[in-house]
Amino acid sequence: MTRRVLLGVVAICLVPLAACGGHHQTDAEKLRAAMARTSLLSRQFVYSDVTGNTRTEVKGLIADDFRYKAATTINGLPIWEEVVDDDAIADRALSNAAFAVFGRQAAPAAQGSSAPAQSVSASQPVESPSLTPPVRDALLAHRWVLDSTGAPSLLPSATEHHPLGADPVFDALTVFRYVDQSIREAFQVKKFNADSLDYKPSEDPFPKPKKHSGVSRYDFERPRLPRPQDISGASANQRIPTAANFRKMAVYVKDGRVIQVLEQIDVVSRLEELQRNYNVKIPSSLPSAQRVKIAIDAINAVRAAQGSDVIRVRTMSLQLVDLGKPVTVALPTDAVDGSLSAFENRGRATGSPTTPTTTAGG
């Protein structure tokens, strides 16, 4: 069964669930319905992920779940272009940095580290048994490589793990899945109201919808930080903070369709609470960025020891435009045929299993 058939079945199943009536819809249900409607439309997008001093941006267009184009830059440097049409995928490396960012990793990120799984480097290209000399030479020459059956699956999987930051294109294409997961992790989702008694402008990093713009904003309320005495799971592990405890997120909807998603993993505003809950002292004389690093590195060390994904301190945005307008996706005609399995989520890995590749998605 092809990706087109599989994803088509999923889309058919999900839309009625998001649109079903018969009861008063909560704000979370309204937002999910807007995401379901938007996901069915062709669109152009700009995805941005800022972590530390690294800004990753993916610009592209989506005809449907099976046809899209994407171009990735790191700190303004173009590094990667991609075209997908059903099962076929074509990629072009515009910089050797693409090998470091997209290369299939032999091991996960270092324990306790909040950095992306890859570091950007223009040094030696990735070494992999599945990277044949013709494919390697084509990529180094900035030529297209076409893998006729190597397009990534965007379906959730219980056997594949997609760590956030490991594949910027995958993150950009699966933002709605990430938002859906964030809805489940939030204390609550509610429509923005500047006149609400519990609204605190000083703690709001996101722009307010302009009056009479027809734009609605949905905000995610963070759950409280766990305390040292809190435990969870059959193993009775100590509960430790997750990204949801620091996440500020706002989703903007117009005419029943999502037009923007903004996220900030805000640790600074909870540093005092962290120190109080866990009796940890972080010198207030240090710069905010250094204080955050100390706190997150300590949390991530415990999360890694418990087998959980580390928290990435980042700012993310997704802009959607030209919703429903026709777009054109065509595979390049001058590509070199070959396997792209040396890269995360691409190609069909052969031989021994590779490191699982995650569904947090962007």
CA dihedral for 90, 161, 40, 44, sign (positive or negative):
negative
What is the rounded distance in angstroms from the CA atom of residue 205 to the CA atom of residue 201?
8
Residue ranges of the chain with per-residue pLDDT less than 70: 1-22, 105-127, 158, 230-237, 349-362
CA 141 to chain centre: 29
Order of strands across the sheet that contains 67-74: 188-191, 215-221, 247-254, 257-265, 315-321, 43-51, 54-64, 67-74, 77-85, 88-93, 145-147, 336-337
Nearest CA to 265 among 230, 282, 289?
289
The 8 Å CB, 24+ separation contacts for 139-144 are 139/91, 139/92, 139/93, 139/98, 139/99, 140/93, 140/96, 142/92, 142/93, 142/94, 143/92, 143/334, 143/335, 143/336, 144/90, 144/91, 144/92, 144/332, 144/334, 144/335, 144/336
Predicted local distance difference test score (pLDDT) of residue 107: 41
Residue 318, amino acid: L
Q: Which residue carries 């009625």 as its tokens?
A: 16
| Pairwise CA distance, residues 336 & 145, whole Å | 5
pTM value is 0.86
